[in-house]
Structure 1
């Protein structure tokens, strides 16, 4: 379990046993009041009956191998919660495998990031209703308020809703970024973007937590001089676009925002070079060579 989430549960009065492959992370959790297990077997042995295990590791192989180990070690009626950013189709498959052994698998789409300890987490839960009710005190402790978590549907639905959530986030971030760049380009107005983003936080229809964070960043570094324009992606934006195509639901804003992130990850665009070559070939237009930079 992530250190911030464990800390929040401990503050809410829950007894937590934690395990992580990293000794540093285990000690950090211990310093916040968690009982520490040095192996996964020790973790399971330390839990009371009807064991509840929250898994929060990177999606893909780390999650798959951890869940497979738990599947072999836990007993009937035990509950496993995957709070990472897994693909919802993997969660549906895993839910069926756990159900075959009489266990319960819940997928918890988790939004809150590094601010979760202070602000709480928005939790989107998929899985069996009785299992959700059984572990609901955990969700209540992590959420910022009683409306901060929701049982959204069957296994897989929690991660599906979180996937769409992240796709929307991509689009919102892209719109803010484009608008700010446009205002910065209007040099004759001398616009103060830090002041404008702070203004928009109060009463504007575009106010949001993303805007709050942007305003704070611009206040401290208005030219963003210490940043490159490389923007990584976790994969959930891509999954959202793929699913929109499979469902026949147009999602042009989210799709383009994902494409812009992919473009930012290229040092140079080969497609851009091809465009430059074609324009030069048919019209003799000037080109800019790498040696000119």
Structure 2
């Protein structure tokens, strides 16, 4: 089976290679010519433009977008609509907001194209481990793409599934990432407690390795944490600045809209935001309030 792939960054490149290893062909385009050349050298097919990519695909065409959420997705769809034919499939494999996905599905379907959303997890490890894919959209195009799902997944019958109608794939991936925020925060807080207990001289890499086997808190995330601590146990040279790509925020907003209590995910998001504040004004306000009502000492620059 052929697949057009737009976006050959690290994850897109690894996905293309896994699809090739699964016996299928990727025709890929990226504005980075070096990435296109690398794709072609690996045995897939490089394209110099969207027009070139579409011309090399056999009908019915399937084009997978790995582009940033928001306007880049809409802009790419607008370009593809001029090149594709009715019955062709557009797949959004990025982290789009599910409400945008539902809108796009409606707009694209009215023009005769199929639209599938695939929440994709696995990152740079997907080439080796396989990708977890949460798929939304109409049944027929999702089933047509089964060979691609099976090639990308950890196993043909594991790690992927059609979870619901349009938007469902991105909705499930959104909550997946919200849960990830909470798990990461819990690990970070636990190891911070270990680090603070100086009198015990705890070996953080050793503890993380112990937990990898038999413990109820073992996970792939713990495996990655253990590897990171092994390389840099004191986190030397790292700034306490954590970004978020949006999914955690969307999960919190959705929880509020649905009247669902989600304090762990919410607090983990707040902690990420707080990590970016220089000379935190909130904490300075707390200090001056304590000084005002109780005469408690404050530290000054």
TM-score (norm 1): 0.96
* Structure 2 residue 36 is matched with structure 1 residue 36: no
Task: Quote the residue 1:115 is aligned against.
Answer: 125
Q: Partner of 1:278 in structure 2?
A: 289
In the alignment, does 2:194 pair up with 1:188? no
Residue-by-residue CA offset, 1:177-225 (whole Å, 9 max, x unaligned): 1011112211222211111110000000000001001111111211111
Runs of 5+ consecutive residues of structure 1 not aligned to the other structure: none
The Cα of 1:18 is off from its aligned counterpart by 0.6
Task: Count residues in correspondence.
Answer: 290
Distance 2:203 2:25 in 1: 49
Shift of 1:41: 0.9
Q: Deviations over 1:223-261 (max 9, x none)?
A: 111212111111100000000000111100000000000
Instruction: List alignment gaps of at least 5 residues for structure 2.
Output: 6-11
- Residues in 2 aligned to 1:30 and 1:280: alpha-carbon distance in whole angstroms: 66
1:127-276 correspondence runs (5 A): 127-145=137-155, 146-276=157-287
SS in 2 for 1:16: strand
Q: Which residue of 1 aligns with 2:60?
A: 50
Does 2:97 correspond to 1:80?
no
1:3 paired to 2:3:
no
1:131 alignment partner, SS class:
helix
* CA shift for structure 1 position 281: 2.5
Q: How many Å apart are 1:268 and its aligned residue?
A: 2.1
For 1:235 and 1:268, the matched residues in 2 are separated by 24
**TM-superposition CA deviations, 1:16-48 (whole Å, max 9, x none):** 111011112212212222211111111111110
The Cα RMSD (Å) is: 1.1
2 CA distance for matches of 1:30 and 1:238?
38
Q: How far apart in 1 are the matches of 2:18 and 2:140?
A: 24
Residue 75 of structure 1 deviates from its aligned partner by: 1.3
Alignment-derived partner of residue 8 in structure 2? none
Distance in 2 (CA, whole Å) between partners of 1:268 and 1:121 is 40
State the distance in 1 between where 2:121 and 2:61 align. 25
Q: CA deviation at 1:67?
A: 1.3
| In 2, Cα distance between equivalents of 1:189 and 1:282 | 37
Partner secondary structure for residue 58 of structure 2: coil
Report SS of the residue matched to 1:73.
coil
